[in-house]
Amino acid sequence: MSSAFSSSNCKDVSCPEGETLADFKRAVMTPDAMEFEKLEAHCDGGDYLDPQDNGGKHYPVKREKADEYFYKCIDRVVRKFDEAVDAAGKLVVKNREGVYVTDPEQGLDYGTKQCVGKDNKPVSGNENRAKCKVINALGAEMHAVEDFYAHSNWSDKADPNKKIGVENPPGLEKGTELPGFLDVYQVSKEVGNGKRVEDVSKLPEKLSTGCWVYSGKDDPHKCDGRISERKTMQKDTAGDSRSKIDNGKNFANVLTAAGDDVFRQWKGFDKAVHDRYGKDKGDAIMKAVAKD
Ligand SMILES: [Zn+2]
């Protein structure tokens, strides 16, 4: 799913605008175009059901194994965030008056160039510009964050009219609440201080995504007896079956949480840039990243 900056309130920080915003939205879609089968790019692979919710039977995947996939996703999100903060430092230079301005070699003239093309793939030749590095890295980061809500049971509710099980796993019912383990600004800070993602983030016991069969690559029976992402768990569109539960509230909550979290990530990026580069350079960087 993708909805970068759709429901954001950008009073306190400068959010992407104009051509930059359009470029950003394409960058958020890049993982679907380039890394469709990479589970951690979409926060996938962590399906799990407690035996008490599975008719007393053990689920084919262990809780620890499911957690591993979530941690891989969080780990990638942190690395992409850090990549963006690193690249941002190269985007501005001091001019002769000592004022920070966009380095023309590192910025982008949208009259002739863009970071991500209409096919949602990075435009070759531009990917080494600092502005594109920031946009590409944050796009990948935000994609996984949004997919977390669409592909897991964090926000949602199970169908109250059906028995709990593989075809109707419990929802964590967090609604529009944002988890601390995706507060990437904070997690990145702690990881920077030498902690592991696993130590920083405690995952809820019944957190789950769904299982996905990649045709031509996976055993077609891989997901037998497991929660299916496609048929059961996903809430990528309003038409997905789990989206419709609670009169569509499941989908509405996913959309709100994903949109709010994209804004949280952006604010975190703004804070991390200012922590690292200070007020003057940080302000110039944010302007160079967000405006055309
Ligand atoms: Zn995805």
Q: What is the CA radius of gyration of the chain?
A: 20
Kindly list the domain boundaries of the chain, sorted by start residue. 18-290
Model confidence pLDDT, tens digit, residues 197-225: 999 988 999 999 999 988 888 899 999 99
Closest-CA residue to 120 (of 35, 37, 42, 43) = 35
| Secondary structure E strands in the chain | 92-94, 100-102
Average pLDDT over residues 176-202: 94
In this model, does residue 174 exceed pLDDT 50? yes
Average pLDDT over residues 104-123: 92
> How many whole angstroms from 214 Cα to the centroid of ligand 1?
14
What is the reported pLDDT for 5?
Answer: 63
> How many whole angstroms from 130 Cα to the centroid of ligand 1?
24
Q: How many CB atoms lie within 10 A of CB 82?
A: 17
φ, ψ of residue 107 to 5 degrees: the values are -85, -160
pLDDT band at 10 (very low <50, low <70, confident <90, very high): confident
> How many whole angstroms from 37 Cα to the centroid of ligand 1?
9
What is the reported pLDDT for 4?
Answer: 53
What is the reported pLDDT for 7?
Answer: 45
> How many whole angstroms from 46 Cα to the centroid of ligand 1?
14
Between CA 42 and CA 34 the distance in angstroms is 12
Closest-CA residue to 270 (of 94, 85, 106, 134) = 85
> How many whole angstroms from 248 Cα to the centroid of ligand 1?
21
> How many whole angstroms from 101 Cα to the centroid of ligand 1?
35
> How many whole angstroms from 279 Cα to the centroid of ligand 1?
35
Between CA 282 and CA 93 the distance in angstroms is 11
> How many whole angstroms from 137 Cα to the centroid of ligand 1?
15
> How many whole angstroms from 229 Cα to the centroid of ligand 1?
12
What is the reported pLDDT for 215?
Answer: 83
Model confidence pLDDT, tens digit, residues 27-58: 999 999 999 889 999 999 999 999 999 999 99
What is the reported pLDDT for 1?
Answer: 52
What is the reported pLDDT for 151?
Answer: 96
Model confidence pLDDT, tens digit, residues 232-251: 999 999 999 999 999 999 99
> How many whole angstroms from 26 Cα to the centroid of ligand 1?
13
> How many whole angstroms from 276 Cα to the centroid of ligand 1?
30
Q: What's the mean per-residue pLDDT of the chain? A: 93
- DSSP assignments along 101-151, one per residue: EE-TTTS--TTT--SB-TTSSBPTTTTTSHHHHHHHHHHHHHHHHHHHHHH
pTM of the model: 0.94
In this model, does residue 68 exceed pLDDT 80? yes
> How many whole angstroms from 100 Cα to the centroid of ligand 1?
36
> How many whole angstroms from 41 Cα to the centroid of ligand 1?
7
Average pLDDT over residues 248-255: 97
> How many whole angstroms from 93 Cα to the centroid of ligand 1?
35
In this model, does residue 128 exceed pLDDT 50? yes
Q: DSSP assignment, residue 219?
A: -
Model confidence pLDDT, tens digit, residues 137-150: 999 999 999 999 99
